[in-house]
Structure 1
Amino acid sequence: MKKPHSLDYRALRPVLKAGTLAFKTTNDLKRLNHCIGQERALQALRFGLETKHQGYHLYAMGSSDLGKHELVREWVAAYAKQRPTPNDWCYIHNFDNPSKPTALALPPGMGHLLQQDMKTFVDEMSTSAQSIFESKQFRAEMKKIAHFSNKKFKLESNASSPSVKIKELSREKFLKEKRLRFKLIKAVISPPITVLKRKYKKYLPITKYLTATYKDILEHVDDLMHLDENTNALLFSPEQMTLAKYGVNLMVDNKDLKGAPVIFEPVPHYSNLICRIEYIQQQGNLVTHFTLIKPGALHLANGGYLIVDIRKLKKQPELWEIFKSTLYAQNIKIEPIERAVHTAKLISISPMPIPLQIKIILLGDRNTYYDLCQEDTDFTKLFKVIVDFDEDVDRNEKNIKLYAQLIGTLVKREKLLPFHADAVAAIIDFCSRLSEDIEKLSTHLRAIEDLIIESNYWAAMRHVKIVRASDVETAIHAKAYRTDRTRELYYEDIKRNFIIIHTRGESIGQVNCLSVRKVGYFSYGHPTRVTARIRKGKGRIIDIQREIKMAGPQHTKAGLIIANFLASRFSSDQLFSLSASLSFEQVYGYTDGDSASVGECCALLSAIANIPIRQSFAVTGSIDQYGEAQAVGGVNEKIEGFFDVCTMQGLTGHQGVLIPAVNRKNLMLKDSVVEAAKQKKFTIYLIDTIDDAMTLLTGLPVGKRQKNGEFTKDSLYYIIEKKLRGFAR
């Protein structure tokens, strides 16, 4: 059996040398005018935007800090500039059915023009009519009608049936006064209506509306007047609601828009996504009319593109259903709100639906997408295009140059100090650490931008003119310090022996396992003591975390794999007569994952053999049923966590961490670990199998099964198998 391999310190943190970059500072770099490594997403976005068929809306998925929101808006905005500008949309009064306002589509800019023209018309009508009704000529005509009627009243008062005649004369007087008012109002509104009809003669819906407005005003002249009780004078003073019906509610004004609209709705709810209808109180009732309809994001984005955060939309199930129905129907239907406010009666309207031509881009993560695919059949019919953002790109010469340009572009955009090449190299190394892969670079733009801004701050604090690699390192450490209070408290408990973690000596059935704890965006290594106890039994391994329901399905699966590995490795031809228990000591929260399964298995093997394990080592790794060590996540944080504890308790030169060999490519360890490894004070070992781990942890050869079916005599596995056969007798 080959000896487990220890890593040279140079393999623990591959470093990009500043000398390999062909510039001195970011001032020497050209701006980057495209994103890096998102060709798949860009192609999908282009396909979705150009496909006009029903159901080809888009779902952009990826981690929240990839910068996908900014990228999607930028890409869509660039595409939208090439598209035609959509129509304006107005609501106007429906003179045949006032409760169903009419939707009117007009060329861009004409909606605003019509709104201003109708406002001017109403204002001028009010002013002109009031002037006429206050004029001496109008009063003289009214006096003349009154004088003539009074003479007739006197003549008829002596007749045989005066009451009948007087009623007829009163009606005659009323009709003469009405005809006079009609004549004067007609004279006021006919010229401007004629002018407007001529102006909009090419737009039949507008000319029909103007004709209907003209007829309605003349039919309701009396509604526009009222008698002043003090002066007994007739005044042109209509109520606001009466005049409002001659106005135009401009829902969508595209007069200043070049291309198609791109709208992002950050906080979707019914009133700002679909629409809002406002109400006013009138004689104890809440009433509304078409001018109180307010547009939603769907109106504003009609003919263009709407970007919505699916997490916020999905939190409102009723709105989500309405939203999908709207996309299916391809029109925006404004439903009246049927709810009582206090004791007032609600009188609403049902506006004409507006046809909807729109492309929706939902922003969300992968889990939300998978959940929607499973739970919502409508979702897969409506959102057929996946825009999947890559989390990282290959770390090669081409992409390193592009990342340097990206950093330079961000520096210039934020108007920061220029970054030296060594600072750029440090940030690129940070990108590999983010991706947990020395062969990759993270595309998490938000984290990169944050590091750039914070590095600039620390350089400014030093009163220098160029940001150096030391400033980048300071920014990384400072950010960790701001968020690592939880880690410090945990390590302090270890130091004070409230939490027991041994980094020296030996113990039977006890292994230092490693996990990762996350607090916000900060992750840290969390050493945990795993213990095992064994006795003769019926082949059952009790996982205490699982028994008390504080373990997840992945942890449970790992426990079953360990049991099957032990039974097949040591008891394939006999009953597996072992009863054992496993415990994560001093862990009081929920546990999941399988990254401790190598350590758990080692603890069991140690307990069975009654052979101690070196506590100077910690272990991470997943195991399969054949005893192979499998890759795990968070390997850098895990190693650094145990290193910090060892440093706190004193480095001896014998301490280290065992990791699966396949995780070698994930190592981007902090400088203090690399330096300790260089000085032979701390070692990282690569293991391929559980056999490698047990050899390192016990110092004994595990043995090899001989032709006689038994393991090498006095080897570790020989002792274990002998013990289990004794249990089986």
Structure 2
Amino acid sequence: MPRELKPEELRWICPAGECAFENTGDVEPLTTIVGQDRALRAIELGLNIRQPGYNLFISGIPGSGRNTALNTYLDQLAPMLPTPSDWVYVRNFVEEHRPVALELPPGSAAAFATRVEGAIAHAVEDIGRTIESEAHVARREALEKASRAERAGVTEGLDAQAREWGLRIERAGDGLLPIPVSESGELLTPQQFQELPPERRSEIEEHAAELGSRLGQVMLQMRRLDRELLEAVRKLDEETTRAAVDSIFAELAERLELSADSPARRYLSGVERDLVDQIAEIVSLDQPPQAGVPVNLEERRRRFLARYTVNVLVSNTGSGAPVVIENSASYSSLFGRAAYRPAGPVMTTDHTTIQAGSLHTANGGFLVLQAPDIFGEPAIWDALKRALRSQEIRIEALGEQARALPTQTLSPHPIPFTAKVIVVGTPGVYHYAWGIDEDFRKLFKVKADFGPDMERNAESLAHLASFVRRRVDLGKLPPFDQPAIARVIEYATLLAGHQDKLSTRFVDLADIVTEAAYWHDLRNGSPEGHVAREDVARAIEEKRYRASLYEDRMQEMIEDGTIRIRTSGEVVGQVNGLSVYQLADHSFGRPTRITARVSLGEGDFVNIERETEMSGRIHSKAFLSLVGFLQGKYGLDRPLAFTASISFEQVYDEIEGDSASSAELYALLSALADLPIRQGIAATGSVNQLGDVQAVGGVTEKVEGFFDVCAAASLDGSQGVIVPGDNARNLMVKDSVAAAVAEGRFRVWVVDSIDEGIEVLTGVPAGERGADGTFRPDSVHGRAIARIETFLQRQRELQAPPVQPEKRADKKGRKT
């Protein structure tokens, strides 16, 4: 039987005895995470297993405390873990495009870079001073003098022979040429040479040719001597400078406590070799530029010394493991990048431009990411998977082919990756990623699922009161008295959508606490005193009002008749269904007029929304379920000789969900039985093929929405709402609804079956089959069957052959 709910059944009011304190001053602040035992155990497991693949996905709706819980665990765990190594990038003197990553003890990178810089400056200064010292210059000049002597010895015999033949050996470019001279030793001009007697010219030309062939061999010897001199000078410079450089870097390695085979020591050895190779460049750093050539000596020195700069990528100066929380991740902010700078017509880069990403700074610790950031950009997710699979971080440039200017690219050596990655997202994102990407299942083996609510019991009530105290302390708000805390708890029950539960949407609860304090200050004129229940109620109502513009506009259209909704009288085949509108963080209910028509036919059921492709899959399924009910109820021993159509009037968006299927069935039964439905009663609930009315969502919003429409048209005690019996504990109606029910001006029924609901709507019992399988003629089902029989009889009449008139004979005996 349908049951009318009492006012106290429409909502849960927190009893005074549940809160054994006078105000928040008597309550300890909340220091733990409440209502999420399952999620907390998962977090603890995921954070403490340090094996590959045991990364965490924190699943829950925003405001459920997932970030707070995670941060609490990280704050406790991270300081107890070892501090990870520092990392720097340095020049690769063999493959310049592949900078070398060096691992250093925690907190030592900055000192390492500073000391290397000081050693380089010292070495450059010593090299310049040593190369220009008198002793070194003297040794170099001795080598050059010896080389000149050898060169002179090579050419001495030729010079004498050339003078004897009237020639002189002169340098021309990189070679030597015999040139004719006069008896006084002056070079002959071409004209003077032509004025010589022919015999003399021929003699000189013959001697010049012979001398020229011998000069070719001499030039080979001269070039050999040049090479030997250069090599000797190079060895001298290297020998002279290496002693100074070696001592500088040996002392540096000792101060840094570097072992001989460590990567950092090998790098310093490479620096030593490169400094020796760069002696000429080092010497030129302090030399004045050539006349007319603008050169900034300071900039030239800076560019040269940059090749030895140690780029500190990660410096872990604190204690414990790092925790990096990325709230707005991009590819470069996660994986790092190598910046570019213009150099003439091209863009260049080197190891000094490498910048760390969050994976670098979180390495050895914990990296917290937001799911929309990594799944919203395929390149980020793909790169993150590679890092987790290979356990190394690679800095790779994206979109090189799309650059307008040619660029020099880097491929830095990868860095081992050991951070625990934690992704925070909603359940929908988790299930989507788990379903489409096998790697996700392997890489994120632990899910911490934060529920939207918790059981209401003495412990959870105490925790919620402690939460209010904590918000009061953090916000330096006035204390809340006991009734105010009770009202916050009731609001948590409203958000949970169940009288036996409390919401864990702590962000929303914190907002109400803050806003209630504001309304208290405004009402009281100062922050003195205690926040009262009326202040919390004002905060809740004002929050709803701020978000209810669309709701109020729809109410206006109902009141002025633009949207036709009747709340009085009776109509056949028309019922008020109820819909919930969700707009961001605000939801509200409003009635929708559902109409049904029946006519003679062959058992066809027309869902107008489905025919016009305005019906979602769930709604279409629900419609077929109610068709199954009608076929099972009326079509066992007779064909359904009618056609039925049903429509949601003045609805222009897609209809989705099954919560209106019971109302649709009520309208069809009304039309079929030709029984009017009371328009002051609205209905919600889904229906199965057996006629059971099943639970739906948003019942509180639906009851309040229809109440507002009825109240605007005047309540007379005949109006009310039918909800599924399974939804009774989901009701948390506002004060005005409960008051109207208590005064008998509004009613709420719960039903478990279509038969119970149709009786409320029509005032006529649905009827039960008797022993003979029939229904009472005056019941809803009896009337429906009688109507079907009428349709069937009419159908038989229309299908019967026409009756031929009897032929008779006229007076003459003819048949007519």
Match of 2:89 in 1: 91
Match of 1:487 in 2: 551
Q: 2:649 aligns with which of 552, 577, 585?
A: 585
Q: Secondary structure, in 3 states, of the residue corresponding to 1:345? A: coil
CA distance in 2, matches of 1:177, 1:154: 16
Quick check: 1:666 aligned with 2:724?
A: no
CA distance in 2, matches of 1:236, 1:637: 74
Q: 2:351 aligns with which of 290, 310, 318?
A: 290
Using the TM superposition, give the Cα deviation of residue 17 of structure 1 relative to its aligned residue in structure 2, in angstroms: 2.9
Q: 2:787 aligns with which of 715, 723, 728?
A: 723
What does residue range 568-579 of structure 1 map to in structure 2 within 5 Å?
568-579=632-643
Q: 2:384 aligns with which of 318, 323, 326?
A: 323
Q: Deviations over 1:698-727 (max 9, x none)?
A: 111111111111102311210011112333
Q: Secondary structure, in 3 states, of the residue corresponding to 2:80? A: coil
CA distance in 1, matches of 2:563, 2:82: 67
CA distance in 1, matches of 2:613, 2:427: 27
Q: 1:146 to 1:666 in 2, by over 3 A?
A: same
Q: 1:527 to 1:200 in 2, by over 3 A?
A: same
Q: Deviations over 1:656-690 (max 9, x none)?
A: 11111111101111011111111111111111111
Match of 2:610 in 1: 546
Q: 1:519 to 1:392 in 2, by over 3 A?
A: same
Q: Deviations over 1:441-466 (max 9, x none)?
A: 00011111111111111112122422
Q: Secondary structure, in 3 states, of the residue corresponding to 2:308? A: coil
CA distance in 2, matches of 1:124, 1:469: 75
Match of 1:205 in 2: 263
What does residue range 24-423 of structure 1 map to in structure 2 within 5 Å?
24-126=22-124, 160=159, 163=171, 182=238, 185-186=241-242, 189-203=245-259, 204-226=262-284, 227-230=287-290, 238=300, 240-256=302-318, 258-337=319-398, 339-340=400-401, 343-423=404-484
Using the TM superposition, give the Cα deviation of residue 354 of structure 1 relative to its aligned residue in structure 2, in angstroms: 1.2
Using the TM superposition, give the Cα deviation of residue 310 of structure 1 relative to its aligned residue in structure 2, in angstroms: 1.5
CA distance in 2, matches of 1:89, 1:229: 39
TM-score (normalizing by structure 1):
0.93
CA distance in 2, matches of 1:154, 1:571: 124
Tell me whether 19-28 or 600-609 shows the greater mean CA deviation. Answer: 19-28
Q: 1:430 aligns with which of 476, 483, 491?
A: 491
Q: Deviations over 1:306-337 (max 9, x none)?
A: 11112221111132122112211111123344
Identity %: 34
Tell me whether 182-191 or 521-530 shows the greater mean CA deviation. Answer: 182-191
Tell me whether 235-244 or 422-431 shows the greater mean CA deviation. Answer: 235-244
Q: 1:260 to 1:699 in 2, by over 3 A?
A: same
CA distance in 2, matches of 1:147, 1:330: 58
CA distance in 2, matches of 1:110, 1:376: 41
Using the TM superposition, give the Cα deviation of residue 538 of structure 1 relative to its aligned residue in structure 2, in angstroms: 2.1
Using the TM superposition, give the Cα deviation of residue 100 of structure 1 relative to its aligned residue in structure 2, in angstroms: 1.9
Using the TM superposition, give the Cα deviation of residue 280 of structure 1 relative to its aligned residue in structure 2, in angstroms: 2.0
Q: 1:673 to 1:347 in 2, by over 3 A?
A: same
**8 Å CA contact retained: 1:224, 1:237:** no
Using the TM superposition, give the Cα deviation of residue 505 of structure 1 relative to its aligned residue in structure 2, in angstroms: 0.6
In structure 1, list runs of 5 or more residues that go unmatched.
Answer: none
Q: 2:629 aligns with which of 547, 565, 573?
A: 565
Match of 2:583 in 1: 519
Using the TM superposition, give the Cα deviation of residue 344 of structure 1 relative to its aligned residue in structure 2, in angstroms: 2.9
Q: 1:641 to 1:94 in 2, by over 3 A?
A: same
Greater Rg, structure 1 or structure 2?
2
Q: 1:426 to 1:17 in 2, by over 3 A?
A: same
The amino acid across from 1:318 in the alignment is A
Q: 2:515 aligns with which of 454, 460, 483?
A: 454
Match of 1:624 in 2: 688
Q: Deviations over 1:439-496 (max 9, x none)?
A: 0000011111111111111112122422111111111111111110101110000111
Q: Secondary structure, in 3 states, of the residue corresponding to 2:755? A: helix
Q: Deviations over 1:386-411 (max 9, x none)?
A: 11111111111111011101111122
CA distance in 2, matches of 1:553, 1:337: 42
CA distance in 2, matches of 1:319, 1:337: 11
Q: Secondary structure, in 3 states, of the residue corresponding to 2:654? A: coil
CA distance in 1, matches of 2:402, 2:763: 79
Q: 1:284 to 1:433 in 2, by over 3 A?
A: same
The amino acid across from 1:413 in the alignment is L
**8 Å CA contact retained: 2:128, 2:282:** no
CA distance in 1, matches of 2:424, 2:296: 61
What does residue range 675-714 of structure 1 map to in structure 2 within 5 Å?
675-714=739-778
Using the TM superposition, give the Cα deviation of residue 192 of structure 1 relative to its aligned residue in structure 2, in angstroms: 2.5
Q: 1:542 to 1:280 in 2, by over 3 A?
A: same
Aligned length: 725
CA distance in 2, matches of 1:502, 1:369: 45
The amino acid across from 1:191 in the alignment is S
CA distance in 2, matches of 1:511, 1:703: 20
Tell me whether 329-338 or 588-597 shows the greater mean CA deviation. Answer: 329-338
Q: Secondary structure, in 3 states, of the residue corresponding to 2:764? A: coil
Quick check: 1:637 aligned with 2:697?
A: no
Tell me whether 207-216 or 630-639 shows the greater mean CA deviation. Answer: 207-216
The amino acid across from 1:365 in the alignment is T
Match of 2:191 in 1: none
CA distance in 1, matches of 2:402, 2:742: 75
Q: 1:528 to 1:281 in 2, by over 3 A?
A: same
The amino acid across from 1:696 in the alignment is V
Quick check: 1:474 aligned with 2:538?
A: yes
**8 Å CA contact retained: 1:535, 1:578:** yes
**8 Å CA contact retained: 2:143, 2:233:** no
Tell me whether 547-556 or 216-225 shows the greater mean CA deviation. Answer: 216-225
In structure 2, list runs of 5 or more residues that go unmatched.
Answer: 160-168, 172-218, 794-816
Q: Secondary structure, in 3 states, of the residue corresponding to 1:347? A: coil
The amino acid across from 2:316 in the alignment is N
CA distance in 2, matches of 1:377, 1:337: 25
Using the TM superposition, give the Cα deviation of residue 131 of structure 1 relative to its aligned residue in structure 2, in angstroms: 6.5
CA distance in 1, matches of 2:436, 2:354: 34
Q: Secondary structure, in 3 states, of the residue corresponding to 1:672? A: helix
CA distance in 1, matches of 2:378, 2:569: 58
Q: Secondary structure, in 3 states, of the residue corresponding to 2:629? A: helix
Tell me whether 20-29 or 576-585 shows the greater mean CA deviation. Answer: 20-29
The amino acid across from 2:791 in the alignment is F
Q: Secondary structure, in 3 states, of the residue corresponding to 1:64? A: coil
Q: Secondary structure, in 3 states, of the residue corresponding to 2:781? A: helix
CA distance in 1, matches of 2:282, 2:510: 63
Q: 1:142 to 1:531 in 2, by over 3 A?
A: farther
Using the TM superposition, give the Cα deviation of residue 640 of structure 1 relative to its aligned residue in structure 2, in angstroms: 0.5
TM-score (normalizing by structure 2):
0.84
Using the TM superposition, give the Cα deviation of residue 616 of structure 1 relative to its aligned residue in structure 2, in angstroms: 0.7
The amino acid across from 2:75 in the alignment is A
Q: Secondary structure, in 3 states, of the residue corresponding to 1:554? A: helix
Match of 1:599 in 2: 663
